[in-house]
A and B are shown apart, each in its own frame.
Chain A
Amino acid sequence: MLTGVFSYLVFFACIVLILGILTLGLNLQWGFTGLFNAGIVGFYAIGAYTHAILTAAPQPQYLGNFGLPWLVGIVAAMAATAFAAWLIGLLTIRLRGDYLAIATFGIAVSIQLVALNWEPLTGGSQGLSRIPKPLAGVFDTPLSFNLWFLCLLAALVAAVYAALERILRSPWGRVLKAIREDETAAVALGKSARGFRLEAFVLGSTLMGLAGALYVSFIGFVSPFDFLPILTFQVWAMLIAGGSGNNRGALIGALLVWTIWSASGIAVTKLVPPSHAAQGAAIQVILIGLLLILVLLYRPRGLIGEAAVVSRHADD
């Protein structure tokens, strides 16, 4: 039935938009500021768990679970992530490119381990459940709820996109670009490179926290297994495939990479009998790896590359 396909596509689109917000956040950090953030999943986790802890239904064995309204959860998630990003940024912003990557990666691993081990607050390995979905009482069938959530996400993404475009054309955005292109010159003009970088880092991370909160209120369940490094890798692939330094590219990359990930899984079921499903799945992973290499070899600027060339100093 076509309604089934439509229903699946709506669900699929919701996931794509949530991943899109992650990619937009990363684009601000990498595409526009040249920060190699390999800890995406950590900020995603902070947003997700803050929202979960505040909005989930109270249970006696957990410290949190305050049952607060959805909007409070979203705002708090963004605030908590912003604060964490500010602290982390203070510590790590001055590190050079790949060092920043390993440092942020390690921080993300540590955040995931806290989620895994601090049971009274985060539910530990069992996770937190019964996270209320917004207006679930009004939209009580899966299709109607997913459609409503899709509209909500679309509006949010549009707002975030518009805001980002605006910010990047503003004086602040121009300084950011100047710093990325030629830091010495920008500093000579009296701009504090570090301050601007920190602001971009915090802003980008806040978007990631927002994505986390949205994810959790869409699915209704959160556990430490949602925040493994593979997701960081996927979001990076999305940005690169779509074109970094370009917000439209970020969203398109999210759509493209997630479609490939999902469709290749479907293809395996159609082409390979279940008895060989395991080998089929291994081949799927190999193909994804090869595809990535090919894109990088032949279209290194992604699908919609940024016109300007990124300076070699971007990762200093």
Chain B
Amino acid sequence: MIGQAIADGILTGAIIALGAIGVSFTLQIMRFANFAHSELLTWGAYLALVFVAFAGPGTPTGPFSFGWQLIAAAALAALLTGLVAWAVDYLVFRNLRRRGAHPLTMVFAAFGAALVMRNMVVLIWGHGSHYYTRELQMSVELLPGVRMLPDQIFILALALAVVVCLHGFLTYSRTGMAMRAMAESPPLAQVCGVEVDAVVRWTWILSGALAALAGVFAGLTPQLHPEIGFNLLLALFAAAILGGTGSLVGAVIGGLLVGLAENLSLLFISAGYKTAMPFLVLLLVLLVRPQGLFGEKA
């Protein structure tokens, strides 16, 4: 039982982690809680659906339920969603930032943007569910009592690869270092010659791309619907905050912790309380470390 719960937790956690990275960086670099982030997940998933509709998910390759076409669709969707994220910033948030708007105003603008984005999905694709593939996979028993779908193992591997690449990018590339500098201290970064606008642009594009991947993975297991991002929103924020905003490692660990908390808790308490678990973990962490596990002390 425990083994299965841990496996499930890691899987859910991986998806949450990918989404939480974007939230974490927006929180730290732009200092506002972007409640429209979850809609980037939804849009990413649906954009991939559009590509899949043209090319098909592909005949199942190997043990997976999809072929390379889905991966290509996901990559394209990631690119597009990054641009969508930047566009939303351009249209809505940038103006507010320029006027020195209060962070709360930004939060509300984000809410409004989220409502619009979500209902646009409804208008275009309807309320019902969509699917990338109609195949149903059988799980394989990795260890006694622990079963996972090949698709899910793939998602884990891909998520890990993405995180490693991102870590490399942040550590070794100029833009990445500029982002980290901005995350630590915007005024200091500017003094050092960091171009704020470029960093902001890259933050949005990366956030959008990661969110799109998370959306596709969520939609793969097993269906897409307009609320897919929204249903993950609070978990994303809980993960980002408990990991410590502005930290890549923090967001990933945060995501995993949230996923594990949800799944392990069912061993002890009724499943009716499952959705409160991310917050309980968050509260516990914040009690002990108010800045999050890997966050900078304020």
Contacts and interface: CB of A to CB of B under 8 A. Distances in A.
Q: In the complex, is A directly touching B at CB under 8 Å?
A: yes
B115 interface: yes
Given A279-B123, A282-B123, A300-B102, A106 B290 contact: no
Contact of B113 (A109, A240, A293): A293
**Most chain-B Cβ atoms within 10 A of its Cβ — which of A94, A233, A288, A300?**
A300
**Most chain-A Cβ atoms within 10 A of its Cβ — which of B105, B237, B273, B276?**
B276
Contacts of A285: 115, 119
B241 A99 contact: yes
B142 interface: no
B96 A106 contact: no
B250 interface: no
B283 interface: yes
B282 A286 contact: no
Nearest to B116: A289
A296 interface: yes
Contacts of B32: 98
Given A99-B290, A240-B108, A296-B96, A106 B122 contact: no
B95 A297 contact: yes
B104 A36 contact: yes
A102 B241 contact: yes
A92 B122 CA distance: 37
B137 interface: no
A107 B99 CA distance: 33
A109 B234 contact: yes
Interface stretch (A13-21, A64-72, A110-118, A201-209): A110-118
B103 interface: yes
A223 to B, nearest CB: 15
Q: Report the contact-size class of chain A (Cβ under 8 Å from the partner).
A: 35 or more
Interface residues of B, number: 44
B139 interface: no
B107 to A, nearest CB: 8
B101 interface: yes
A95 B282 CA distance: 12
Contacts of B114: 289
Interface string B69-111: 0000000000000000000000010011001011111011101
B62 interface: no
B33 A110 contact: no
A97 interface: yes
B192 interface: no
B109 A293 contact: yes
B129 to A, nearest CB: 16
Interface in A68-106: 91-92, 94-99, 101-103, 105-106
Contacts of A91: 283, 287
Interface string A25-39: 000001000001000
Contacts of A154: none
B92 A293 contact: yes
A282 B234 contact: no
Nearest to B237: A102
B113 A289 contact: yes
Interface of A: 30, 36, 91-92, 94-99, 101-103, 105-107, 109-110, 113, 116-117, 233, 236-237, 240, 278-279, 282-283, 285-286, 288-293, 296-297, 300, 310, 314-316
26 contacts: A36-B104, A91-B283, A98-B107, A99-B286, A101-B33, A102-B237, A106-B238, A106-B278, A106-B279, A113-B273, A117-B270, A117-B272, A117-B273, A240-B104, A285-B115, A286-B120, A289-B114, A289-B115, A293-B116, A296-B101, A296-B108, A296-B112, A300-B101, A300-B105, A310-B102, A314-B102
Given A297-B95, A316-B298, 12 more contacts: A94-B290, A96-B298, A97-B103, A98-B32, A101-B33, A102-B237, A102-B279, A107-B279, A286-B120, A292-B112, A293-B112, A310-B102
